[in-house]
Structure 1
Amino acid sequence: MTKMISTAAAMAGLALCIGTASAQTVGIATSNPGSLFHNIGTAVANAANEAGLNTTITPATSPNQFIPFLNSGGIEFGVANLQEVNYALTGEAWWTGNPNENLRIVAFLQPLVEGIFVRADSGITTLEQLRGQPMTDGFTAQNTILPQLDAFYSTAGMTREDMIPVSVASVTAGADAFMAGDAVGFIFAHGAGKVREADASVGGLRALGVADTSDAALAGARTHWPTAYFTTLPAGAAPGVLEDTVYIAFPQVVFTHANVSDDVVYALTRAMYEQADTMAQTFPPMAAFKPNDMRGDPGVGQFHPGALRFFEEAGLN
């Protein structure tokens, strides 16, 4: 059960913060409907609203499209994975030397666990069998996916050039291309609504895992995606997980702009901590969210002072 802060002083402080925060509507930028981040953003907004905030979500194709808007103060919060926030902060990778220096971390969520999905009846059971096959690629509106694909393929000693590229704009477009028969597989996060749609559409999926689970293979994957690690999902844990399988995972975060008020960030952070059950009811994979793990290692970034104020009150070190 989620720990609650129940001192009179803390409750009075929360009432003041919510009163201040609810005077305005705050937004959470997410990826498109069907994506994992849209599901998570909806769950976080529901938790915030349950706690008395006035919160809406605003979908975009991907975080690399909405991050500059958030960095400029156009919206208050966003949901993404830590690595793409790190790249945005420093201006590395697809940010081509243009840093988004106003980003601040609010809290860590449950990890994103990623698979490469094929039809269960395709006869494809390993990554190596994708060689020479048409696979979703390009991701012109979602730059973050290409290095994730490279990390996955590297565990089988392959690169994206070993497949026939089927160019798509985003992971949701990639799933649509797969369902249309244009590609034999697509990459997506476990638990997302689009994966369930594809599973029903083709009569069942198989989620391929990493080919080599050694430390050397992980080091190779991290040359493409530095925050990656390996994790095992048991059979039946999600659509396509037909046996115990090792996948690539990495941290996800809620983040904000440096100039969003401390009271608003404090109130959202506290709402997530205390409304974990609400988030899991909205989006069942969020049952993996652990409130006591919200203060993770932000890497090159830093936490917003409003989040730090709550962490200190909650005893999260």
Structure 2
Amino acid sequence: MTRFFKAAAFAAATVAMVAAGSAQAQNVGIATSNPGSLFHNIGTAVANAANEAGLNTTIQPATSPNQFIPFVNSGGIEFGVANLQEVNYAVSGEAWWNGVKNPNIRVVGMLMPLKEAIFVRADSDIKTLADLKGKRMTDGYTAQNTILPQLDAVYATADMTRADMTPVNVTSVVAGAQAFMANDADGFIFAHGAGKVREADASVGGLRALPVADDSDEALAKARKHWPTAFFVKMKAGSSPGVLEDATYIAFPQVIFTHAGVPDDVVYQMAKAMYEGKDVMAKTFKPFNAFNPKDMKGDPGVAEFHPGALKFFKEVGLD
């Protein structure tokens, strides 16, 4: 059993022992990806808001949602951070889940969109996605099955495929950023605003975030063949490391999710903490400035909201 699973199991056992108490006496965990990743930053921010609201919360890092979604589904830890598409695939058993369903997953609330790009050195000759042809691009992502179809979606906007690049196989986005900083790759994919992107920006003397090649409806349809929840967003120059000019990037919804068996009052408290805790979360992680609490009850796709979250949404008029 890994350190993550041992710690998460301990957190779950603690919750079971105090289940008769109030939600404010609970100790709960949020599963995240590794430090430096977007989901780790998000989980830390949400945990800070929950703690300030009286729900004792810790984060438990793992390599990726591939690992911790099934653990949340089994009740091993109470909450997790992921993007909506991978949660929907996990619930339905589609794509890399190979028919294995996670039926106990429930959504707590929608967050701000995950905005993503391929990053290269600002001083390189790579200015567009087309310029990546033949270059060394991170690939493989054996511990994060979500990344390859996301790469495919980005490349599709330029009528390219992963075969157009020279692959540098890595396990995760964090490993991909490290390979780039070690000069083993010419580009890497990551979420805008993540800590690892800021580290890479400082390490190489500046990044360039490559925009989508085409922001037309036709290009979006091509991207959605690989990542169905994708949409395009415009970002202002200087709004995030690597955004050197006003440009369009790919994005998709992300969520806090939970297990169907987590008590309603605990999920209610978490939803409330998120809804009321924007300032705390934004202070911890700046991208939460784009979080709109009124959007927490969006369309969850094939997934369902937890009853505790629905109770809170009804109280604040989001039903």
CA distance in structure 1 between the partners assigned to 2:216 and 2:24 by the alignment: 49
Is 2:202 aligned against 1:171?
no
SS at match of 1:187: strand
Tell me whether 1:207 sits opposite 2:206 in the alignment: no
Residues 106-158 of structure 1: per-residue CA shift (max 9 Å, x gap): 00000000010000000211000000111000000000000000000000110
Structure 1 residues 85-113: Cα deviation after superposition (integer angstroms, max 9, x where no partner): 00000000110000001000000000000
Report the Cα offset of residue 24 of structure 1: 2.6
How far apart, in 1, do the equivalents of 2:136 and 2:278 lie? 40
- Stretches of 4+ moved more than 2 A in 1? none
**Matched residue, 1:8:** none
Residues 146-205 of structure 1: CA distance to partner in whole angstroms, max 9, x if unpaired?
000000000011000110110000000000000000110000000000000000000000
Q: Deviations over 1:45-69 (max 9, x none)?
A: 0000000110000000001111111
Q: Which residue of 2 aligns with 1:248?
A: 250
Q: How does 1:1-317 map to 2 (within 5 A)?
A: 20-317=22-319
Count of matched residue positions in the alignment of Structure 1 and Structure 2: 301
Aligned equivalents of 1:124, 1:220: Cα separation in 2: 23
Give the counterpart letter for 2:148 in structure 1.
L
Deviations 1:255-308 (A, max 9, x none): 000000000000000011111100001111111111111000001111000000
Give the counterpart letter for 1:284 in structure 2: K
| DSSP 3-state at the match of 1:106 | strand
Consecutive unaligned residues of structure 1, counting only runs of 5 or more, are 1-16
Name the aligned partner's letter for residue 297 of structure 2: R
Secondary structure, counterpart of 1:148 in structure 2 = helix
Cα separation, 2, equivalents of 1:92 and 1:189: 24
The share of aligned pairs that are identical, in percent, is 75
In the aligned structure 1, how far is the partner of 2:125 from the partner of 2:135? 13
SS of the aligned residue for 1:22 comes to helix
Give the RMSD, CA atoms, in angstroms. Answer: 1.1
Q: 3-state SS of the aligned residue for 2:120? A: strand
2: distance between equivalents of 1:99 and 1:164? 34
What code does the residue aligned with 2:59 have?
Answer: I
Letter in 1 for 2:129: L
Q: CA separation in 2, counterparts of 1:194 and 1:46? A: 20
CA distance, structure 2, for counterparts of residue 283 and residue 31 of structure 1: 15
- Aligned partners of 1:94 and 1:121: how far apart in 2? 37
Offset at 1:30? 0.3
TM normalised by structure 1 equals: 0.94
Letter in 2 for 1:207: A
Give the Cα separation in 1 of the matches to 2:307 and 2:71: 21
Distance in structure 2 (CA, Å) of the matches to 1:126 and 1:274: 40
The SS at the match of 1:235 is coil
Structure 2 gap ranges (5+)? 1-18
TM-aligned CA deviation for residue 212 of structure 1: 1.0
Q: Deviations over 1:65-86 (max 9, x none)?
A: 1111110000000000000000
Equivalent-residue separation in structure 2 for 1:76 and 1:31 (angstroms): 15
Deviation for aligned residue 1:23? 2.5
